[in-house]
């Protein structure tokens, strides 16, 4: 087991990529805390994991709230005694806000996609420092590298912020034994669930592997960075996009 006896928090762990990460982490031996606002889905994922002799619990949490982060870290340590891994997975797309080109939409996208990463990293690192080690994995996007006419500029700004913040955090927390890396998924469900058939076809055509990705393919990349196999990897980006930005 690649995460035997580790304790991990996965934000946005009730669905999509976060759910795939949470289930895979549990399979690999970690105790997993699923942090999300989707209570029914989060409790279901935790129950499923516990039903197959894994260890998991759901904690309702708003990743844009510092108070919620403080409570999440405290409850995790109270339940499992420590924190080894944080996956800052929670995020929203431009279509999740009323007007992504308006000031309110800008603030919402930055709060959920970028401020949450700052808050999570800050509080998780504080919990990890006494142990002298830890791994933080921040989920960005290929849109953290390149612009796209199909993505809102405010979304790109939020994901670009995650990319560079990750590097700065790696430099800051490295001396304490804490690794911080970012993962940049390409096009895949559920992110494209609201996209019409023509839009999906265009994304496939633009991807050298000529298909969409799957959440589990991202989860395995996150697993590597979270594990001790990546013990000398920090401040870097793992792109999982079927070759999209290689062109």
pLDDT at res. 151: 72
Position 34 pLDDT exceeds 60: yes
Nearest to residue 113, comparing CAs of 8, 7, 191, 215?
Answer: 191
Structural domain includes residue 22? yes
Beta bridge partners of 86: 9, 136
For 149-196, the pLDDT digits (tens) are 777 889 999 999 999 999 999 999 999 999 999 999 999 987 666 567
- Catalytic residue set: 155
Query: What domain range includes position 161?
Result: 7-246
Structural domain includes residue 2? no
Nearest to residue 119, comparing CAs of 234, 24, 222, 35?
Answer: 35
Structural domain includes residue 1? no
pLDDT at res. 60: 98
The number of domains in the chain is: 1
Structural domain includes residue 212? yes
**Which tokens in the block code for residue 233?**
């990897």
* Distance in angstroms (rounded) separating the CA atoms of residues 71 and 10: 15
For 82-116, the pLDDT digits (tens) are 999 999 999 998 676 767 778 998 999 999 999 99
CATH number at 90 reads: 3.40.50.720
* Distance in angstroms (rounded) separating the CA atoms of residues 35 and 40: 12
Long-range contacts of 129-132 (CB under 8 A, 24+ apart): 129/173, 129/176, 129/178, 131/82, 131/84, 131/177, 132/176, 132/177
């Amino acid at each position: 087991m690649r995460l035997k006896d580790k304790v991990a928090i996965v934000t946005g762990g009730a669905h999509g990529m976060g759910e795939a990460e949470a289930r895979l982490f549990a399979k690999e031996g970690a105790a997993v805390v699923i942090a999300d606002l989707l209570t029914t889905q989060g409790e279901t994922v935790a129950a499923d994991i516990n039903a197959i002799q894994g260890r998991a619990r759901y904690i309702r949490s708003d990743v844009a709230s510092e108070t919620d982060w403080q409570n999440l870290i405290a409850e995790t340590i109270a339940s499992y005694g420590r924190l080894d891994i944080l996956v800052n997975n929670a995020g929203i797309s431009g279509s999740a806000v009323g007007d992504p080109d308006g000031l309110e939409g800008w603030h919402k996208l930055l709060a959920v996609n970028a401020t949450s990463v700052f808050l999570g990293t800050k509080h998780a690192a504080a919990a990890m420092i006494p142990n002298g080690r830890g791994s933080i994995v921040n989920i960005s996007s290929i849109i953290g590298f390149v612009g796209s006419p199909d993505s809102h500029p405010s979304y790109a700004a939020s994901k670009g912020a995650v990319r560079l913040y990750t590097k700065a955090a790696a430099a800051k927390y490295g001396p304490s034994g804490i690794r911080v890396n970012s993962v940049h998924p390409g096009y895949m469900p559920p992110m494209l669930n609201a996209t019409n058939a023509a839009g999906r076809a265009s994304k496939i055509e633009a991807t050298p592997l000529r298909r969409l990705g799957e959440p589990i393919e991202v989860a395995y990349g996150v697993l590597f960075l979270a594990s001790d196999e990546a013990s000398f990897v920090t401040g870097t980006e793992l792109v999982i996009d079927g070759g999209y930005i290689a062109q």
